[in-house]
């Protein structure tokens, strides 16, 4: 057994990031400034997005997207229960009603057919979450959105580097929000990026900084003018240059970090796929999976302990794990507000009860990966359900 605890998801931060942050500190420009704009430009070029707006979180990106599209009280937004609360909280923030539909059994992404069945005259948008880094069925959802004249917003918190039919996520005309939280494939500690058509991002930029018609960058730089106007009540959602400094260097090593994630995934799949006790993550042929998470599902019929006990056993072996996610309809706020029951979305509920996210980070050594595999297989061996001889 390991002597040192393996954290679930340690970021890979090297000397390059440290040096860039130090240079940002020495520059005297700490808030949104030249590095933030540079990060936006390099992100846009790297992932071929129409435009890019750096923000302080993916949540901010989703909130601003809804505001830019004028979604508010009386409107409905269809989304998935298999996501973090932020994806749905923002719908509440603008006064709209979230409408949940169930997920696909293999990818755990939102079911397009279920989306179409949930559409009413009040429906104005779909928020599609690329769960664990596997893209949703964008073509089917785009067809539904076009037919019913709905906005399609992409929650790509897990999907930096993912592709659908060879096209990078964020490359199309949908407003798409990315996350650079500490555990994400590309991190700025906290942070996010909103991509989409430039004319919408121009509006989003104003909303994201108090509703001011001019940023600090244009007011406080050499030759800048002090005057500004508040054109609408906005928010304080900007990224800082200290965050962007991290992002710039993370972006430059991104391909190498993704390759390491794929190596770890391949090792996990080879170890776990042969065993009936486990359901390994699937990837459809027409997508590139970003592999933000490795979600291993247990088959209760094959083990004498449940998911919670498996996690306890992993912890006892000094391996950190997590669960992604407690479905939205099981949280007390949404359960009480909308009268949800656990089995209202049976695919999401069943998956949740049996899932465990394993450590997956480019910072992991080969020995770390071997330790995770050894722990999982040891638990499987110890708690496998024995079959009676015929």
Contact criterion met (CB below 8 Å) for 251 and 197: no
Q: How far apart are the first and last CA of the chain?
A: 37
Tokens of 388: 């009676």
* Nearest of 62, 56, 64 to residue 244 by alpha carbon: 56
381: tokens are 């061996």
Cβ-based neighbours of 113, under 8 Å, separated by 6 or more: none
Signed CA dihedral, 209, 213, 215, 216: sign only: negative
Catalytic residue among 184, 203, 225, 236: 184
Q: Which of 208, 238, 187, 178 is nearest to 30 (CA)?
A: 238
Give, for 206, the enclosing helix (H) or strand (E): helix 198-207
Do 60 and 240 touch, CB atoms closer than 8 A?
Answer: no
Closest CA to 247 of 172, 182, 340: 182
Q: ω into residue 325 within 30 of 0, thus cis?
A: yes
Q: Is 184 a catalytic residue?
A: yes
- Tell me how far apart the alpha carbons of residues 283 and 286 are, in angstroms, rounded to a whole number: 9
- Assess contact for 31 and 181: CB atoms under 8 A: no
Joined together, the tokens standing for residue 185 give 């494939």
Within 10 Å of residue 377's Cβ, how many Cβ atoms? 15
Residue 11 tokens read as: 């970021």
- In 3-state terms, what secondary structure has residue 118? helix
Q: Are 67 and 53 in contact (CB under 8 A)?
A: no
Q: Which residues are catalytic?
A: 184
């Amino acid at each position: 057994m390991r002597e040192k605890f393996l954290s679930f998801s340690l970021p890979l931060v090297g000397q390059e990031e440290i040096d860039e942050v130090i240079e940002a500190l020495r520059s005297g420009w700490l808030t949104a400034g030249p590095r933030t704009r540079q990060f936006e430009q390099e992100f846009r070029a790297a992932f071929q997005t129409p435009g890019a707006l750096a923000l302080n979180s993916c949540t901010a990106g989703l909130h601003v997207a809804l505001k830019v599209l004028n979604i508010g009280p009386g409107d409905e937004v269809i989304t998935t229960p298999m996501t973090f609360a932020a994806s749905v909280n923002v719908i509440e923030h603008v006064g709209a009603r979230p409408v949940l539909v169930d997920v696909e059994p293999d990818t755990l992404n939102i079911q397009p057919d279920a989306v179409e069945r949930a559409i009413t005259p009040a429906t104005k948008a779909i928020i599609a979450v690329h769960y664990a880094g596997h893209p949703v069925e964008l073509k089917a959802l785009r067809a539904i959105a076009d037919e019913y004249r709905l906005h399609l917003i992409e929650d790509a918190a897990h999907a930096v580097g993912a592709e659908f039919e060879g096209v990078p996520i964020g490359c199309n005309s949908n407003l798409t929000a990315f996350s650079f939280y500490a555990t994400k494939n590309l991190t700025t500690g906290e942070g996010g990026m909103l991509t989409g058509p430039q004319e919408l991002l121009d509006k989003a930029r104003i909303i994201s900084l108090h509703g001011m018609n001019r940023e600090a960058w244009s007011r406080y730089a050499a030759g800048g003018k002090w005057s500004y106007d508040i054109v609408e009540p906005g928010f304080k959602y900007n990224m800082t240059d200290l965050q962007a400094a991290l992002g710039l260097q993370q972006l430059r090593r991104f391909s190498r970090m993704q390759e390491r994630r794929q190596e770890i995934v391949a090792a996990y799949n080879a170890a776990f796929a042969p065993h009936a006790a486990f359901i390994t993550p699937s990837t459809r042929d027409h997508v590139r999976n970003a592999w933000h998470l490795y979600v291993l599902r247990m088959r209760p019929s094959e083990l004498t302990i449940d998911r919670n006990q498996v996690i306890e056993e992993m912890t006892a072996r000094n391996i950190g794990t997590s669960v992604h996610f407690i479905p939205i309809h099981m949280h007390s706020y949404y359960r009480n507000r909308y009268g949800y029951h656990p089995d209202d979305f049976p695919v999401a509920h069943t998956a949740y009860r049996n899932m465990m996210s394993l450590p997956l980070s480019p910072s992991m050594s080969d020995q770390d990966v071997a330790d995770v595999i050894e722990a999982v297989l040891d638990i499987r061996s110890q708690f496998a359900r024995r079959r009676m001889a015929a």
